[in-house]
Structure 1
Amino acid sequence: MPSASKPPTGASNPTPKPRDAQKEKDYERKKQRVKEAHRKKRVRALMKSAPGEPVKLHYDTDCRSPATEAHVVMFSGVSSESKGEIAGSSGMGWYGMPRRAGKGGAGGACANALLHYLKESDRTKPPDRSWLTTMVGMQKWLSKEGYTTVPRLSAGNNNFDFKRPFSILNPQCVNSQRLSGRTRAVLIGCNYPGTESALDGAWADVSKMKRYIASVGFSNDGDSLMVLRDDPNGKSGELQPTKENILEALHWLALGAAEGDSLLLHFSGHGVRVNRPKASETDDETVVAEDGLVPCDYKTEGPILDREVQEILVSRLPKGCSLVMFLDCCRGGSAVELPYNFKLTPKQYAFEKERMAVGWPVRRNPLAALVDRTVNMVPNNCKRALRIGAKTADATCETIGGVLQAAADSFLPKLIKREYQRGKRKIHKLTGVKVQFEPHDERTHRFLF
């Protein structure tokens, strides 16, 4: 049997030294202190570089749709390169749809960006997950993945609050996520198979959105969910996204809507902008541009224009009803006209991204925010003068204390103490009685005796 090989002469097998648990704890605490100091430094720098541009909705002066009392919010994508192809003045002949749309031929990235951010935030636990933070997270993911699209948020009225926690349910649910009414959703995915403008990801977008809305409380039964996909091998019960079927689905979504209801519309496909002649002689514009959604039978039926969606769906919603829309339109604009919209400027985006990185919540304690702002408004020279004044006061107090101590050790107290002791001895010698005077103040007693 072969013997085990021995290590060469002079070679040693160094055993690892035991790790000192206390040193490890001290190192971790030091690391945390450095990390917290770095975070506070970034927060101070962030407060000094306030965006200067308030995050608020802007009224669209070109919008022809009135404001609504319902809670209507829409996420859409706006390309940083182009706003979409505009069809010819004839309107219905050519739609200018691209051969390939976006990265990988996908029909848009709005819903994908939302779902990726929500999944990431569940893992990282950000300080808040408001509507504003969600927009920043979506734009960050789109930029990271190489898309030229930036998210845009539109609202039906100016009462929308960016700082409210993000939820596709009715705002009456607040943070409890408990339904205050019924839910209804319409999910539309158009891949346009067999055409020169075919897409790749619209059907998958619908499947992902279907799973997400079910996870947050939307019902997926036949009375609460309608799915339209132009998939020839699709599931039974799914309708083809023709223009007629989509308009019927919008009618069904708004049918019987009441206060407390939560409605959702998701469209993944092509969007276009078409020109139509002016409606009347009194119109100043000779040609009116309208955005629209492109159904699978667009070649024969044409697009679904924004005014049609406005009349069929948005204008029929009562006060207290909620509608959230996600429009993944690669080349179209909003496709649904809402009077108020918002898009992050580069400065706002940089500020909000840094705020999320340092863990600074969007809705802070008002008193703490006021104190921080006041402290940061004080010039550095004033802070330096205060520090110098404090040090001078400390030095002065030490000097005065030394003078008093020197006075206590001076000749006069020593003379009094010596004469007192001499007097005690004389009395004891003459009378034989020991005399002891006890002052009432202990400090004086210790000082003299």
Structure 2
Amino acid sequence: MRSMPWLASVGAALVAVAVSLCTVMFTAIQPAHAAVGLHISGTNIVEANGQKFIMRGVNHPHVWYTNQTSSFANIKALGANTVRVVLGSGKRWGPSTDVANVISLCKQNRLICVLEVHDTTGYGEDGAAATLDEAVNYWISQKSALVGQESYVVINIGNEPIGNTNAAQWTSATTAAIQKMRGNGFEHLLMVDAPNWGQDWQYVMRDNAQTILNADSQHNTVLSIHMYAVFNSAAAITDYLNRFQTNGWPLVIGEFGWRFSASEVDHETLLSEAAARGLGYLGWSWSGNTDPILDMATGFDPNQLTTWGQRIFNGANGIKATAKQATIYGGATPTVTTTITPPPSGSCRVAYVMNTWNTGFTANITITNTGSSATNGWRLVFSLPSGQTITNGWSASYAPTNGQVTATNAGWNGNLAPGGSTTIGFQATHTGNTAAPTSFTLNGAACQVA
């Protein structure tokens, strides 16, 4: 429209008409709003420079443990590129008036900050919960700390904003919240959680996703699903993710737990599918849960990772294996070591800890190099008693799943310095025999059993 050589051959009147029409057309077809900082491109979250950013991180319950500021550095040190920070609007928790400090902690530790208001959890079913509109009012009150941070901060308007009572109200409430945020000048990437306590088992978010995305004048909203017991099978997970992928809707897994019992989320499928599809995920949660089964670090201590903590940070498709730092901080790619150097004979120790229930168990295996030279890759061999079968594992690969099993190191934990250790684990079924293996060898050398 800016180059029309044929205009030179027509009269002055036609030139004037053509220029006038061009002006009208140019005015009518305005370019889309130029995204500021983190934004949506197709189904992806991208940075201001267009580089795709895939969230790999965890949730931190900051509003209840405001003194645990070292958690940001500890989460980063374990490989995360994102932290979702729990804040309070003052309706039920908080108010969190330290938003500027939280953002500073994220930036100091080169983490993307997802900030969420937790007071909205279960509205309509929980009488103490805040509305999404009240959550937006909180964000408006904190606007001075947020403006200018669009490359570092995602605003998750409200956590699990509708319970199981009248979940259909989620669509209008979420639409209004997005429009109020934009009407008040926020240009950040917005994240919206599903109803049904985040799990969307009535498919309100899935079936109204396009309505929500259309409500954003800046087309800069990502949908967030929380995966717990509703998603306890591979079929449930893949079907849900397929619907969003097929329709081209941006999605992240904003919370999820692990399969500590057969009725819980199939975290192995979740992690592998997220990696294969390039979906972001944020596990729940770093520490401080009233039910400690979902704690990743005991007492906020990064040196005391739980089974869940070891799995999400150090396991296959986990944070260390797949996270890339945001390019605004300088990107980083994980490295993998494959060469195997055996330890000297008798230079290893194994501690095997089981947690059993009626038909299954989990096992944590801590391998310690008690020799004088480092390993550069390892294989741990042990025999499972009759009737025991591994169903999934973390921090190593396991083959076969019963009888004599070989556990082979993951890419991140093959190097064991003298005195160094690593913890691996698996979940298994049993038919009544819950005995532990009696012996272990590491790269052919017998280990002491602690």
Q: TM-score range by the shorter chain?
A: under 0.3
TM-score, structure 2 as length reference: 0.23
Q: What TM-score does the superposition give when structure 1 sets the normalisation length?
A: 0.23
Structure having the higher strand fraction is: 2
Structure ID, larger Rg: 1
The answer to which structure has the higher helix fraction is: 1
